[in-house]
Structure 1
Amino acid sequence: MPRSKRGKRGSGKPGNKNGLKGESAASDDELMSDVLSHYSSASESTTVLEDGSGEQVDEQTAQEETEDKLKQCIDNLMDKSAKTRLAALESLRLAFSSRVLYDFLTERRLTVSDCLERSLKKGSSEEQAAAATVFALLCIQLGGGDEAEEGFKMLRPILTAILMDNTAGIAARQSCARALGMCCYVSAAEDGEDLIKSLALLESVFMSSYPNREGTLPTPKPGSSGLHSAALQAWSLLVTLCPASKLTLLLSFHLPKLQACLESSDVNYRIAVGETIALLVELGRDIDEDFEVDDSDGLCECLKSLATDGNKHRAKNDRRKQRSIFREVLHYIENEDFTEEKIRFGVEGVYIDSWMRRRIYDAFKEILESGVRHHLQFNPLLRDIFGLGAPLILDATIKANKISRFEKHFKALSPPHSRTKQRNKVRDKRADVM
């Protein structure tokens, strides 16, 4: 996801009282580069690597070197320099999104959580935004077990406080909204209390974009549309876990309000609203095949207008993106037909053949970025969510202990938590091996 440049950063000018920051910045960049080079070269299916001199280095040595770099990044999260902490957060973000580090992080999860808590409490808006994203990645790495649940309960109050703080930076609030949705989705407890609280918090954010009693949309404040989009998308992710009784209440209240928000002046918020409407209608039809939207004719007319919008005052790319999305939404509302997509990774693939699966996949893609395919291939959590089974081990040279480690982690996800039962909705036989 695009990272905001707002918020204060530590000064690196050589003439200030902390004149060593210029040297520190250079070492930070080198450390990040080293971490990334290790992660790009140490593949899951190779047992030997070559260093710059042409000598072979075994996988164990490469793993140890990489972990040493990551340990240094974790240590740097406690540095006094804001620039050093930001560089460490960026290094961890890239590493967590590109690899599966369950064993490494299980032993250090409390240390990392403590450091992220400090950044969220005392950092600038930019540091808070980065820390929230790294925390979401940490929950994905820990796989939705007790460790992730423990971390979520620890940091949820801080994420909530930043999200609800009107004086906090927009970038930080957006990142906290995404992290709150993802971490709750991954680690919500069986009793559903975390789910209900998180839904209510996210609702309180994007509902400020709803029309007033006279039916007029409020004038958005600078940056508020991006925050409303992030909160709405996080909320819609959590809606996929709701039982039918809760869904019925949500549908009756939110669908009419969201329909009015299709007139929003912000294209990205309009698109988020349109996709959420399609998701809610799909969930409603899952509950009752005869489910109908109130004023469906008015909704379809509005969708047709957006799907054919040729307003020259809008940017060309915005018009193209809007028309594409709303054609899909309209087609689904009218014909219950979804344009499916196949995501390929390794020798496998998974079908995105519903609005629910798309929302879930897009949420992980937004956090993991280009690493989403690697995690689909190797992360037991994502494989469990999309019904892919245990990670495939296709290379005979991979050591037996690595296979047993994957199996052990996958089995750890087996207890029938309520969230796992809800995720059965997105499992089907559309995953395959090519």
Structure 2
Amino acid sequence: MPKGKGKKKQKEKTTDDGAGSGAVLMFSGPSQIVDDTDSICSSIPDSVLSDESFDDSADSSSDTELQFQVSEALDNLADKNSRTRMAALNYLNDKLKHKMVGQYIVGRTETLIDTLVRGIKRSQGGERKELLLLASLFPLQFGEDCADITSLLLSVLVPIIMDNSVSPPERSMAISTLTLCTFLLCHDMKLVEDIMHHCESLCSSCKIDLIVSAAIKGWSLLLSILPIHMIPAILTRQTPILTKVLESASDLSLKISSGQALSLLFELTRECNEDLLECEEAEVACAVVQSLASESNRYSGRKERTQQRASFRDFSQAIESGYVPERSIKFGSESLQLDSWARLIQYNVLTELLATGCRTHLMNNGLVRDIFQLGPPVLPYLETKATKIERKLINAASAKWRSQARGKQRDKRCVL
């Protein structure tokens, strides 16, 4: 083939494959179209290119800078670009977990609640899960100042929870958010009971382990704050459902959630009237829990079998004799005693939500301290640094002591 024609074809191929002057490139962000005649960087906002405006540098910055960062993140929750919104959500969730930043959001609570409700309704996937996490963390720092959030979220979250077309992680997160907000803020026991009925419906009808486990955890959390006179009816209604879940469940997390729920239910029943535990439903539940405490299925791993047997031995003793595995959680100069199944379940829910930030909230969050009856926050002891003269005297005394100790150990022989 002649060289000229080959060169011509090669040139035409390059022109077809490359982006011409009028070509359009798709940017990774949603609905972002960038003309290649312009610089890509000049066409994209700084907040989209990187998350530098929401990095952890605020941890070491002054309160003024932190307040500015929080305010900017709140503004960006309503941004049109999804990456900007996600960066703002990640930043706010991280700060609400590990710092007390409620004072920086005072005056904007109504706007934030409205943004959360609209965002949860419209979004989906990862953004919806981050919004649900923010909706869980928000009332933890504001308490009664955002008491309306439960009733507003109820109308949005219940349809999501009951919609089979929504992904299981989103539905389970919605259950956790709704039950936690109700636990923290709701004083209407009728509303609490209605939400518990939704959880019970999922326990008996849903076949997805992740959703059923979240429903049982949320149900247990709300059960821990119910008036004692409501317990007998719940014992009769819910014990067979939890027993059936235990018999059919293959997921260890679901089994443990059900075992904890039964332990709490029997603990509260003993406080109400121990004679109620003589019913047939309680005996069947006790037998199922005992069988799981000694189960040795080969299809599950060794670690999983060990954890199941250890957990269900505790549940079996709790159901039979009211046993509670007491734990002491130390933080700073204080300690938290988990001496009931109610407290243990409440603490587990908070640690799942806050992770490493739980210690900060136990020390400084008034609402969390009220839940566990820890009293007002304890002021940290302020240590004063020794002056230069004091350090000199301490070093001189140490040097003198070392010299004397060495002298006693030496062999002081005279040289003739």
Same fold (TM over 0.5): yes
Change (3 A) 1:205 1:260: closer
The answer to whether the 8 Å contact 1:178/1:230 transfers is yes
What are the residue-to-residue correspondences of 1:10-409 with 2, within 5 Å?
A: 12=28, 17=33, 24-28=47-51, 30-33=52-55, 36-39=56-59, 41=60, 62-143=62-143, 145=144, 147-189=145-187, 191-209=188-206, 220=207, 224-263=208-247, 264-292=249-277, 294-295=279-280, 296-395=282-381
How much has 1:123 moved relative to structure 2? 0.9
CA distance in 2, matches of 1:304, 1:11: 58
Q: Tell me, in whole angstroms, the C-alpha distance in 2 between the residues paired with 1:317 and 1:22.
A: 49
- 1:340–1:353 CA contact under 8 A, matched in 2: yes
Q: Give, in angstroms, the shift of residue 370 of structure 1.
A: 1.4
1:377-423 deviation line (CA, Å, top 9, x unaligned): 100001111111110113459xxxxxxxxxxxxxxxxxxxxxxxxxx
Q: Which residues of structure 2 form unaligned runs of 5+?
A: 1-25, 35-39, 384-416
Please identify, of 233-242 and 293-302, the stretch whose mean Cα deviation from structure 2 is larger. 293-302
Answer with 197-206 or 94-103: which moved more.
197-206
Q: Secondary structure at the match of 2:105?
A: helix
Larger RCO, structure (CA 8 Å, separation 6 or more)? 1
The equivalent residue for 1:421 is: none
Structure-2 separation of matches of 1:11 and 1:288? 65
Give the deviation of 1:371 after TM superposition: 0.9
Shift of residue 26, structure 1, vs aligned partner: 4.0
Q: Distance in 1 between matches of 2:164 and 2:352?
A: 24
Q: Which has the larger radius of gyration?
A: 2
What amino acid does structure 1 have at the position aligned with 2:326? E
TM-score by length of 2: 0.78
Runs of 4+ residues over 3 Å off in structure 1: 13-16, 18-26, 293-301
**Count of aligned pairs between the two proteins:** 350
Per-residue deviation at 1:25? Answer: 4.3
274-283 or 244-253: bigger deviation: 244-253
Instruction: Specify the code of the residue in structure 2 equivalent to 1:270.
Output: K
User: SS at the partner of 1:106?
Assistant: coil
Q: Which has the higher helix share?
A: 2
Provide the secondary structure at the position in 1 that maps to 2:300: coil
Deviation at 1:236, TM superposition (A): 1.0
What corresponds to 1:419 in structure 2?
Answer: none
Runs of 5+ in structure 1 lacking a partner? Answer: 1-9, 43-61, 210-219, 398-434
How far has the Cα of 1:285 moved from its partner? 0.6
C-alpha distance 244-17 of structure 1, shift in aligned 2 (>3 A): same
Percent identity of equivalent pairs: 30
Alpha carbon RMSD of aligned pairs, Å?
2.5
Amino acid corresponding to residue 184 of structure 1 in structure 2: T
**TM-aligned CA deviation for residue 24 of structure 1:** 4.1
Judged with a 3 Å threshold, the aligned counterparts in structure 2 of structure 1 residues 17 and 317 are, in CA distance, closer, same or farther, namely farther
Query: In 1, distance between residues paired with 2:103 and 2:190?
Result: 29
Give the conservation status (yes or no) of the 8 Å contact 2:213–2:254. Answer: yes
Judging changes above 3 Å, is the alpha-carbon distance between structure 1 residues 336 and 83 closer, same or farther for their aligned structure 2 residues? same
**Shift of residue 22 of structure 1?**
9.2
In the alignment, the residues of structure 2 paired with residue 182 and residue 277 of structure 1 have an alpha-carbon distance, to the nearest angstrom, of 20
Distance 1:87 1:315, change over 3 A: farther
- When residues 331 and 116 of structure 1 are mapped into structure 2, their CA distance, relative to the original with a 3 A threshold, is same
Task: Provide TM-score, normalisation by structure 1.
Answer: 0.75
Q: CA deviation at 1:202?
A: 2.0
Please state how far the C-alpha of 1:23 moved relative to its aligned partner.
5.8
Greater shift, 270-279 or 151-160, is seen at 151-160
What is the distance in 1 between the residues matched to 2:330 and 2:299?
38
